[in-house]
Structure 1
Amino acid sequence: MKTSICDIVILGASGFTGKYVIREALKFLNSPNSPLKTLAIAGRSPSKLSQALAWAASPNQPPTIPILSADVADVASLRRIASQARIILDCVGPFRLYGEPVVAACVEAGCDYLDISGEPEFMEKMEALYHDKAVEKGTLVVSACGSDSVPAELGFLFNSRQWVSPAAPNRVEAYLTLESSMRIVGNFGTYESAVLGLANADNLQALRRSRPRKPRPPIPGPLPSKGSIIQHEKKLGLWGLKLPSADSIIVRRTLTTLHENSHGLQGVNESNEQIKNREAFWSTVKPAHFGMKLGTKSYLGVFPFIFFGIVMSLFAKFSLGRKLLLAYPSVFSLGACKKEGPSEEQVASASFKMWFVGHGFSNSNVFPQQSAKPDMEIITRVMGPEIGYLTTPIILVQCALVVLSQRDALPKGGVYTPGIVFGPTDLQKRLQENGISFDTISKGPLLG
């Protein structure tokens, strides 16, 4: 086993999201019962890293922790920090531009890797290029360990597990609502990732065509109709706008992997009790069609997002358009995204709710035919603080703590979704203890 000087290295720690990750990690550094004993931060500028550490520790004095020099353009520096860490938390996006060298360094060094990417092409490319070698090296590579896509994944699994046999879901629709007492602006990095994702959408399709098609799990009942782009969910009092989000893609990847491994993936050195717990967890998860929508309380509230999506789609397809989108994010997003990001007051004022509306069958043994109509509904909810800068660091740090404390019960290595790695662990319990709740709202017959 390699000699590590750090349990966790936060890469890109001086960035807007990175400094919030530092602040969250410091809560658990050397705290009672925490597996986090050593922490380091890494990036291009030692002075900016020191400033980020001071901000994160305020009003206390910053702890004495290693500040490491690393640049995603400097492969040697990435190999150096990967050789010194048990886990790297990568906060340097857009990941399609900067993520692969970090993954490559971690895989080569046998250092586990977690990031906060919400970029499907990057994630699927890393799986295609590095999965086999990560298995060989014993490196876990898990993207989307933030607001993309843990609330959606664990929320779907939570809803799915409420369907007690012989009941089974046919589809689950998630509605994301963002709430704030102040107008909050989005992070430029997320905006830039979205622009580049739209610009390279053809690359993702080409990547998928180049890989063997994996069979999807059987789901009882009919294939849901696509429906309109805007839908009204009366029980929630929300209008939903369909989102081409990473969340839906990640959930489908998890269900496909689970279909191949019905009891999940075996841990490195699981105890008999851990094996029983994993198998018991996955035996209660039922596959379903999954969709993601942005929820607003008014019908008119969806139209700014439609306008934003149309403009971005049109401009992202050509070079000059992309330059304009990236040069003037506030203009093209109608003030929703700015390069300087939100203030601390804006972040503190915000929260999110993600509602999961599941439709299915009270007895899937009686209604197996494709023409059957669902007769049962289960609504669940995940909710927490501001989704980008508070919820994301909470999730990322808790995922890292699970890896530190339960590594023997996790897959030896490979490129996986968060749901596959963390679903059967105590991650949901940990999130609930840190301000992210999971609730069953209603369960009963589907009327109308």
Structure 2
Amino acid sequence: MADKAANPTSARAYDIVVFGATGFTGKLTAEYLVQSKEAGKLKIAIAGRNAPKLEACKQALLALNPKISIDLLRADSSDFTSLVEMAGKSKVVITTVGPYLKYGEALVEACIETGTHYVDLTGEPEFVEGLEHDYQAEAEAKKVKIINSCGFDSIPHDLGALYTVHALNKELGEQSAGKLPVKVEGFVQARGTFSGGTWHSAITQFSRFREYQKKRKSWKKAKKSIPTDRRRSRVMKPSVKYCKPYQAWACPLPTIDPQVVKRTAASRKEFGPDFEYGHYVLVKQLPKLVGGIIGAGGLVALSQFKFSRDKLLKIKDPGQGPSAETRAKSWFKVNFIGEANGLHVWTQVSGGDPGYDETAKMLAESALSLAFDKSLPKCYGIVTPGSGIGVALIDRLQKAGIEFQTL
């Protein structure tokens, strides 16, 4: 089932506001929007707290598309009134301002208050799970879609799993589709650099591991959670294994992506009554895999102490990023194996630079879908790309050059 308009926002001044457009990924997202197929009808504003930087960003965007009109809005994460004013003027707010644990919640609250859809790039489980427990009921009641993880975290994995399940159900036929237990495994390969914002978010999340676990216990005890009428969906227990089809070692990848896929599966009938997902990174050489595990463990350990944590945060600035030439050499592939009743399907999602160019594309297309697409799932609250937008976003991304294919 679908709805034509989640909120009475047709009279608002803007279709999309980009909050954080002066940052590296925010600027790439704004550049994508002003050159998109919908740019001719797009009413857009960029927002932030630094007026000179906003003006410089506007002039750079106008150089790409002189015909588009771009307004500037002042907004600050520490000024809730400014966030409410900004959100109330738009159908959708994009935010690239992280770490989201530090800067994200106030904007989510402002969007819910004003009935405005929201998309972000977060890969921070504590932030997303906190929103689910604290804001799900209110956002759902107002028919607002708060959609986290709309970049490389976690669209290729979330929509890739959805695409795989659809391909599997097509082979199963109408009588069995959506009625059998389903298992999907995703295997990630990529070449590229991650953003300064992603680095800061990761170090922040590592440093808060104990606090996060305490929160999870309190949330479970309070039973303030997502709706209880969801289908059974779970993440596979982590284990390293050799994967013959890819001639590589598969190591469980401890990102937010499995949790996002799990939430999408729990909310959509086509995933069946019992769904299981496994998420891995492929590494060709065992020594490299061992080195990666040791390195990740070292980062977690160093992030527990303020002195070493501050040193780590200085390695990458949140606003910095690689050159266009470097990004052009980057790529990603996520291979999926779907299984139900002894039947297997193999699919793949692939694209260019995962950390910046494709992430900006995914984020922008998510917002464009919320602003313009007329038939989206009736799923509101703190939702995922797969549950809040779904197939419409797969179609958009395919047209934009991100490939979804059955192998």
TM-score (norm 1): 0.79
CA distance in 2, matches of 1:342, 1:378: 36
* Aligned pairs (5 A) from 1:235-314: 235-256=245-266, 258=267, 264=268, 282-283=269-270, 287-314=274-301
Question: The residue matched to 1:147 in structure 2 has which SS?
Answer: coil
Residues 339 and 88 from structure 1, CA distance in 2 versus in 1: closer, same or farther, beyond 3 angstroms? closer
Partner residue of 2:12 out of 4, 17, 25: 4
| Pair 1:22 & 2:2 matched | no
Residue in structure 2 matched with residue 317 of structure 1 by the alignment:
304
Structure 1 residue 416: Cα displacement: 1.1
Partner residue of 1:201 out of 206, 209, 216: 209
Residues 287 and 429 from structure 1, CA distance in 2 versus in 1: closer, same or farther, beyond 3 angstroms? farther
The CA RMSD measured in Å over matched residues stands at 2.7
Residues 8 and 176 from structure 1, CA distance in 2 versus in 1: closer, same or farther, beyond 3 angstroms? same
169-178 vs 90-99, which moves further: 169-178
Structure 1 residue 79: Cα displacement: 1.0
Structure 1 residue 440: Cα displacement: 1.3
| Pair 1:328 & 2:315 matched | yes
Question: The residue matched to 2:245 in structure 1 has which SS?
Answer: coil
Residues 400 and 285 from structure 1, CA distance in 2 versus in 1: closer, same or farther, beyond 3 angstroms? farther
Question: The residue matched to 1:162 in structure 2 has which SS?
Answer: helix
Structure 1 residue 313: Cα displacement: 1.1
Residue in structure 2 matched with residue 172 of structure 1 by the alignment:
184
* Aligned pairs (5 A) from 1:88-237: 88-164=93-169, 165=172, 166=176, 170-179=182-191, 184-209=192-217, 210-211=219-220, 212=223, 217-218=231-232, 226-228=238-240, 231-237=241-247
Partners of 1:11 and 1:41 within 8 A in 2: yes
Partners of 1:140 and 1:411 within 8 A in 2: no
Residues 283 and 29 from structure 1, CA distance in 2 versus in 1: closer, same or farther, beyond 3 angstroms? closer
CA distance in 2, matches of 1:7, 1:219: 35
**1:379-426: CA deviations, max 9, x gaps?**
211001111211112112221222122356443742211111112x42
TM-score (norm 2): 0.86
CA distance in 1, matches of 2:282, 2:129: 27
Q: Structure 2 unaligned segments of length 5 or more: list them.
A: 1-7
| Pair 1:426 & 2:406 matched | no
Structure 1 residue 322: Cα displacement: 1.2
Residue in structure 1 matched with residue 3 of structure 2 by the alignment:
none
Residue in structure 2 matched with residue 388 of structure 1 by the alignment:
355
Q: Percent identity?
A: 30
The ranges of structure 1 where at least 4 consecutive aligned residues each deviate by more than 6 angstroms after the TM superposition are: none
CA distance in 2, matches of 1:226, 1:284: 21
Structure 1 residue 339: Cα displacement: 6.8
Q: Structure 1 unaligned segments of length 5 or more: list them.
A: 259-263, 265-281, 330-336, 363-375, 442-448
Partner residue of 2:320 out of 340, 346, 356: 340
Partner residue of 1:415 out of 373, 382, 391: 382
**1:199-254: CA deviations, max 9, x gaps?**
1123333333323375874589xx966433xx222212332222111000111122
Question: The residue matched to 1:358 in structure 2 has which SS?
Answer: strand
Partners of 1:23 and 1:57 within 8 A in 2: no
Rg bigger for which structure?
A: 1
CA distance in 2, matches of 1:58, 1:52: 10
Residues 227 and 31 from structure 1, CA distance in 2 versus in 1: closer, same or farther, beyond 3 angstroms? closer
The count of aligned residue pairs is 386
Question: The residue matched to 1:66 in structure 2 has which SS?
Answer: strand
Structure 1 residue 358: Cα displacement: 2.9
CA distance in 1, matches of 2:145, 2:319: 32
Structure 1 residue 299: Cα displacement: 2.9
Question: The residue matched to 1:129 in structure 2 has which SS?
Answer: helix
Residues 87 and 380 from structure 1, CA distance in 2 versus in 1: closer, same or farther, beyond 3 angstroms? same
